[in-house]
Structure 1
């Protein structure tokens, strides 16, 4: 894990940027409280709204909004990065809340130009920025007090797992998060990604932290990374199996390949950087170090 002091510097920067953006992004408090038809775009945004007890106000969600389960019963407006502006507008929303990165740009521009309240929630790939994200969603829907309570609870949970990991005395396992396989290459998560943030929070070491974001790796890079464990998302169209992963000669030649160390976790739970992040990190820590660290 990065030193806590370094992590805090990164989060302070992200939080400062969020504070600058919010006044221009958020509707007035009165408008936010009156919003009765919310379209939530992004699984973490949806999860936060439900965690604040406001799920009844959500009239439509995107395909990544899989938690809580009742959110999946709402009308669906498409994948977070491929939303249909017409689909959103057909729900007659009075407030649209989207994670940063929602798209395509043309659809987002149409929604912004529609005159409806459109709020974009910045999502820095750092676990310590989660409380600020919760507060931003809370302000957007007029539930700032509830959001403050939730943010403090989540902040305390994150601090607790950080302290547990810091106190561990054993060696850290090198984890390779594999998003998918394409043309025989592993699409892996480097630094400045949600997977990297969660691996560090769980007490692991990102095997490919030398790269930034999600990048395809050459066979030589996979072998040089020498991961102890391969971690993937469970379910979904890009679900990667252990058989597929270790059929690659480069992965088979790594410590993970020799021991068949392969872990799967729900994608939103692991990568959403939402209210359940500390729980996900504890679960991942337990899987990485079943006998303790």
Structure 2
């Protein structure tokens, strides 16, 4: 959900399974859950988008999150008090009980030592699900979202699985995003989204690409995705020739990229976005996680579009 060299390899893994995130940018508060929402009934069976159904007999009271996106969702839903441990990439919100657990190379014994009654993960690396099944710990796998509807559906699943209905949170997110998009005139200008200094990007078929698509922007990476992965690696020559009007950097915190470093790259000073001062440094975390703070990403993109 921060993209650095190791993180890009992780993001490319996430093309099928998961995303990795970290960073230290200034945060905005996550949405406040509505305490008046009715409690969910148990047992409950939940089915994540594109995933397998999972039945929980009782409300989980000791949750371990191995997904930074899921961690944000749990706390936004009001399930924070049930979370006993989160992985080493879950740096938001600040009160999340961060540990050295890894969601990329999970240690089943270390996870089981937290005595969870539910583990939430973004994939099944190293046979995580089967390993925890042996000690009767259920795993809710919430894979990388590919659409905004996936985001809402995953929050709904997470809410039902933890006893905190997501209806109010999802309704607020939908309303906020709809208003931002409605209030921002669409512009069919070209943009480039940078994941790291090796010039990996995203296409319109990805979740992040679809956020840009809300504003009518044209993605220069689409034509370069020969394999259909959604995450092609571009060349400097390609980007310069495409001449995007907007450049979005998702490698500011991780890799120190900025409008100044982009302008200093050979040949990049001729790019419209650079000449016009339209290089936008994103919060690496917000640009790579598909949880409640996607609203913040939409707002940043809208502001850039309005100025283009």
Give the TM-score normalised by structure 2.
Answer: 0.73
Q: 2:65 aligns with which of 19, 27, 40?
A: 40
**Over aligned residues, Cα RMSD in angstroms?**
2.6
Q: 2:140 aligns with which of 102, 115, 119?
A: 119
2:197 maps to 1:181? yes
Q: Which residue of 2 aligns with 1:49?
A: 74
Q: Which has the higher strand share?
A: 1
Report if aligned partners of 1:26, 1:139 keep a CA contact under 8 Å in 2: no
Structure 1 unaligned blocks of 5 or more: 1-16
Q: Displacement, 1:203?
A: 5.1
What do the CA deviations read for 1:35-69 (whole angstroms, capped 9, x no partner)?
11101121221111111111011111123322222
Q: Which residue of 2 aligns with 1:12?
A: none
Structure 2 unaligned blocks of 5 or more: 1-46
Q: Which residue of 1 aligns with 2:11?
A: none
Cα distance in 1 for partners of 2:253, 2:124 equals 20
Report if aligned partners of 2:190, 2:244 keep a CA contact under 8 Å in 1: yes
Q: Which residue of 1 aligns with 2:53?
A: 25
Q: Which runs of structure 2 are paired with 1:113-262 in the superposition (5 Å)?
A: 113-143=134-164, 146-165=165-184, 168=185, 171-182=187-198, 186-202=199-215, 204-210=217-223, 211=225, 212=228, 213-233=230-250, 236-262=253-279
Residue 81 to residue 238, structure 1, CA distance change in 2 (3 Å): farther
Cα distance in 2 for partners of 1:138, 1:43 equals 16
Report if aligned partners of 2:124, 2:141 keep a CA contact under 8 Å in 1: no
Q: Which has the higher helix share?
A: 1
Tell me which of the two structures has the higher relative contact order, counting C-alpha pairs closer than 8 angstroms and 6 or more residues apart.
2
Cα distance in 1 for partners of 2:139, 2:214 equals 32
What do the CA deviations read for 1:152-192 (whole angstroms, capped 9, x no partner)?
22222233333334xx26x333221111123xxx1112232
Q: Displacement, 1:119?
A: 0.8
What do the CA deviations read for 1:235-281 (whole angstroms, capped 9, x no partner)?
54344333443333353332223334321121232332222222321
Q: Which residue of 2 aligns with 1:87?
A: 110
Paired residue secondary structure (1:74): coil
Residue 41 to residue 142, structure 1, CA distance change in 2 (3 Å): same
Q: After superposing the two structures, state which structure 1 stretch, 156-165 or 88-97, moved more.
A: 156-165
Paired residue secondary structure (1:270): coil
